[in-house]
Amino acid sequence: MLSGSVATLFAAFALTGSAFAFEPGNTECIAPANPGGGWDFTCRQVGKTLYDIKVIGNPMQVVNMAGGGGGVAFAEVVNKRNDDNDLIVAASSATATRLAQGAYPGSSMDQVRWLGTVGADYGVVAVAKDSPINTLPELLDQIKADPSSVPVAGGSAVGGWDHLKVLIAAQTAGIDVKKVKYVAFDGGGEAVTQLLGGHVKAFSGDISEAKGFVDSGDIKIIAVLAPDRLPGDFDQFPTAKEQGVDVVGANWRGFYAPGKMSDDAYNFWSDAIKTVYDSDEWKQVMAQNGLMPLSLSGEEFQDFVGEQINKVETLSKEIGLIK
């Protein structure tokens, strides 16, 4: 048992320590695209879950900041909000892709702190519900015959992850990737709108952003870029591999934080995102939206992003996107 003076001293140390522990204030998540896409989904669903499971005391504000395939948001954080302890930013494989290709001028992954992932979102190729195209090989045959007549839309910038998925599939089918017509939009929601308007022939995106449009009957998924059919409601959609196109494209979903965020705040947010991932509430969100397991946090996630950037840089050079 502690003596009175030692116990008092111990309590004083504990109190002093707690005074310096981070407690979030008016929290904010930047979605670097317009409403309706994957980054918007990540901010809104994780923000809601953080509040629902009482990790944060007030609802999280979501701010949409479209432009430059995430570059506008990245520059905002690095240049203006680099020490904001209450800010997190939605990120994905698309973020790593743009950094790998030098698409955020003067930027590198080391300018921000990488917090963690909340799952992986497999890529899909989809067409409008009334399209005569029903399989991925049919779409690729049309592209091969007349590339300029088959524009494909995506929610990432030219050279971004949605674009790369199309190029990898085309390359696998023996198509000259430089001739593929890709049209970039600020977010998957906007890209699907263009598909429904008849302005493009196909959509390259992720299953979470396509799911709502499938449920409403607006689009049909002709290929999922997963190694095997996805579970639950998603098992009706064929993989590219089973159609003879050996392509797998997984888009991780997660967050980065300002580069000068305090260590206390960084540890809080890294733990908070892991807590969301482990919760029953998030398992339900994953099941409803086709997110597959992928849990990385802290230093492990930082290393993972570095490895992905190196791989994308190599691939981008191979297909002539960068020198």
Which pLDDT belongs to residue 318? 79
Q: Where are the beta strands (DSSP E) in 65-201?
A: 87-92, 112-128, 152-154, 182-184
The reported pLDDT for the residue numbered 12 is 36
Side chain identity, residue 89:
V
Q: What is the pLDDT of residue 14?
A: 37
Integer CA distances (angstroms), 230 to 176, 225, 226, 249, 286, in order: 30, 10, 7, 13, 12
Residues 309/252, Cβ–Cβ less than 8 Å? no
Domain regions of the chain by residue span: 7-121+252-318, 122-250
By the 8 A CB rule, do 122 and 252 touch? no
CATH architecture assigned to 7-121+252-318: 3-Layer(aba) Sandwich (3.40)
Q: How far apart are the first and last CA of the chain?
A: 69
Q: What is the reported pLDDT for 5? A: 42
Of the two residues 64 and 10, the one the predictor is more confident about is 64
Positive/negative CA dihedral, 76, 79, 82, 86: negative
Model pLDDT, residue 99: 95
- Joined together, the tokens standing for residue 70 give 């995430």
Q: Phi/psi of residue 28, each to 5°? A: -145, 140
Give pLDDT tens digits for 228-275.
998 888 899 999 999 999 988 888 999 999 999 999 999 999 999 999
For domain 122-250, the CATH architecture is 3-Layer(aba) Sandwich (3.40)
Per-residue pLDDT at 9: 38
Q: Where do we find the tokens 């948001």?
A: 73
pLDDT at 161: 87
In DSSP terms, 64 is beta-bridged to 31
% of the chain residues with pLDDT over 70: 94
DSSP 90: E
Report pLDDT for 1. Answer: 43
| Identical fold, 7-121+252-318 and 122-250 | yes
For residue range 310-322, list pLDDT tens digits in order.
988 988 887 788 8
